[in-house]
Amino acid sequence: MDPTRLVRSSARAARSLQLGWRVVIAMTCVLLLLLLVKSSQAAGTSSTLQEEVAPSSRRLQAYRDSTNVARHGPASESFQLSDGSWVDCVPIEQQIAAHEPNLQDHIIRMQPSSQILMNNIFLPQIDNVSDKQQQLPQHPQLFAREHGGCREGFIPVQRSDPNQQLFRKHQGPAADRGMTSTTSMKNPTSASNGPAHDYAVVAVPSTTGGYTGQGGVLSVNGPYIGEPSSEFSLSQLWTVAGSYQLENLNTAEVGWQVYPALHPSQQPLAPHLFIYWTRDAYLSTGCYNLNCPGFVQVNSTWVLGGTLAPYTTLAQKAKFEYEFSIFVVFDSGTPGWWLQIQGTWVGYWPSSIYTTLKAGRADNLEWGGEIAPASTTPTTTGMGSGAFASAGYPVAAYQRNVSYGDAASGNWYYASFTGEAVTNTNCYTVGIQQGGYTNWGSYFFFGGPGALNNPACANTLLEPENLEAFS
């Protein structure tokens, strides 16, 4: 409230005393009214100030549309990108996470606590930039490059068909260790249920509660997809706790994926940034990106589910490969698992959505590629770039700077891979530390052409028995 204006009002009231009683009463009423208006304005001003000063106290608010369907809040602005896709800017408080039962009254954390910010710089600085590697130009997503991002207080959401079914992910590579033929039949309604997937994946030793996070720099490739109506190919990180048998397997997952069925109207053959989570071994919880409640996004420029552009294809015969960096890190201050992409904290998977990843300790960390075949006949879908690991740089896909957070010491280390899961080396392979790049930290090449111009793979039957388990 402005004090000088109050003094002036009182002075005016004093002068009015010299006039008749009717005037006095009238003026008193005016003064009272004035005071009332002033005090209500003051209340309004202070609550607005509070929001501007402390955006960290933003609370999730569940929004339902006119037909009572749980959605993101209404977009303040919508943008069509030059590739034809649409991005909606929705209020950060009304993002879909507000509908997660375990996030009632959740106060959004805009960034991790200082503890986690320090953890990242503990990694030994063994990386130096050479002309062999090339980061994506500026921001690797069109939305940020063309529109800069959403306004403060809003987050970008990749628009999707509201009638599209919720795509559920197939079990991760750990599922296939000791897999029986009935394992993949547990969720018959799942859209991704089907023939066993192929993996070319590396891991650090499985240690109960041993890990607080993981990182990697991923090449961004555009592999060939043989059957676009159902197949996909991806490169990702898996942060895992719990077990399939107890159906309490929890995951936080991130990477890129070419999955035309998931993005039918948005550059279906391009690699899309994706995240995923589950708390019941992929049975009934979790989803991709912001398609269901769970992940809390805070950044206004990154579009989960949006394409990564440009990317490298075999046809380009390029001299370098585009790449981007990822960290998934537990922050006890939030508490939750934070996602960092290209140095930006994009958002987090709150601890409260989990059962076994809850305590900030992961049991298994995995990095690598996966493809989903349409049938039990080997597919022509490529993994990675579509080239075998042995093709090396700049042809085969890779993940480098592969690191993990060690729960016991609190430090970060480059991974020593002790496990490797490759379902069929005739189709897809892994090459650990292949080529001796001394400035890449821990790394591996991976991928392959599948059955495309490759009889050795085409003539193999993809049975679970072909799996070379983690050793």
Ligand X SMILES: *[C@@H]1O[C@H](CO)[C@@H](O)[C@H](O)[C@H]1NC(C)=O
**Residues annotated as part of the active site:** 253, 370
Instruction: Tell me if 303 contacts ligand X by CB under 6 A.
Output: no
One-letter amino acid of 430: V
Instruction: Tell me if 128 contacts ligand X by CB under 6 A.
Output: yes
Instruction: Tell me if 439 contacts ligand X by CB under 6 A.
Output: yes
Instruction: Tell me if 344 contacts ligand X by CB under 6 A.
Output: yes
Query: Could you tell me the smallest distance in angstroms from the CB atom of residue 249 to ligand X?
Result: 29
CB nearer to ligand X: pick between 152 and 465: 152
Phi-psi map region of 286: left, alpha, beta (phi>0 left; psi -120 to 50 alpha): left
Separation of alpha carbons 463 and 163, rounded Å: 35
CB nearer to ligand X: pick between 195 and 392: 392
Instruction: Tell me if 326 contacts ligand X by CB under 6 A.
Output: no
| Beta-carbon contacts of residue 393 (< 8 Å; ≥ 6 apart) | 132, 321, 435, 437, 445
At residue 353, what are phi and psi to the nearest 5 degrees?
A: -85, -10
Please identify, among the stretches 19-27, 83-91, 119-127, 282-290, the one whose residues bind ligand X according to the rule CB under 6 A.
119-127
Please identify, among the stretches 16-24, 225-233, 296-304, 307-315, the one whose residues bind ligand X according to the rule CB under 6 A.
296-304
Cis ω before 188 (30° cut-off from 0): no
How many CB atoms lie under 10 A from the CB of residue 229?
A: 9
Query: Could you tell me the smallest distance in angstroms from the CB atom of residue 435 to ligand X?
Result: 12
Instruction: Tell me if 138 contacts ligand X by CB under 6 A.
Output: no
Instruction: Tell me if 364 contacts ligand X by CB under 6 A.
Output: no
Question: Which DSSP state fits 140?
Answer: S
Query: Could you tell me the smallest distance in angstroms from the CB atom of residue 343 to ligand X?
Result: 7
Question: 419-422 and 198-203 as β-strands: parallel, antiparallel, unpaired?
Answer: antiparallel
Query: Could you tell me the smallest distance in angstroms from the CB atom of residue 451 to ligand X?
Result: 34
Q: Which two structure tokens, joined as six digits, stand for 445?
A: 């090449």
CB nearer to ligand X: pick between 98 and 123: 123
Instruction: Tell me if 299 contacts ligand X by CB under 6 A.
Output: yes
CB nearer to ligand X: pick between 299 and 399: 299
Beta bridge partners of 214: 328, 404
Interacting residue with ligand X among 207, 325, 352, 355 (CB under 6 A): 325
Separation of alpha carbons 464 and 290, rounded Å: 32
DSSP states of 225-258: -S-TTT-EEEEEEEEEES-TTTT--EEEEEEEEE
Collapsed DSSP state (helix, strand, coil) of residue 316: helix
Instruction: Tell me if 229 contacts ligand X by CB under 6 A.
Output: no
Instruction: Tell me if 411 contacts ligand X by CB under 6 A.
Output: no
Question: Which DSSP state fits 45?
Answer: H
Please identify, among the stretches 127-135, 199-207, 251-259, 366-374, the one whose residues bind ligand X according to the rule CB under 6 A.
127-135
Query: Could you tell me the smallest distance in angstroms from the CB atom of residue 437 to ligand X?
Result: 8
Separation of alpha carbons 107 and 296, rounded Å: 10
Instruction: Tell me if 207 contacts ligand X by CB under 6 A.
Output: no
Please identify, among the stretches 65-73, 163-171, 358-366, 436-444, the one whose residues bind ligand X according to the rule CB under 6 A.
436-444
Closest Cα partner for 467 from 110, 213, 88, 183? 183
Separation of alpha carbons 36 and 199, rounded Å: 69
CB nearer to ligand X: pick between 71 and 139: 139
Interacting residue with ligand X among 243, 301, 355, 460 (CB under 6 A): 301
Instruction: Tell me if 146 contacts ligand X by CB under 6 A.
Output: no
How many CB atoms lie under 10 A from the CB of residue 17?
A: 10
How many CB atoms lie under 10 A from the CB of residue 15?
A: 9
Interacting residue with ligand X among 196, 217, 218, 415 (CB under 6 A): 217
Interacting residue with ligand X among 83, 127, 146, 227 (CB under 6 A): 127
Restricted to residues 390-409, the positions that interact with ligand X (CB under 6 A) are: 401
Separation of alpha carbons 257 and 370, rounded Å: 9
Instruction: Enumerate binding residues for ligand X (CB under 6 A).
Output: 123, 125, 127-128, 130, 139, 149, 217, 299-301, 325, 344, 401, 438-439, 441
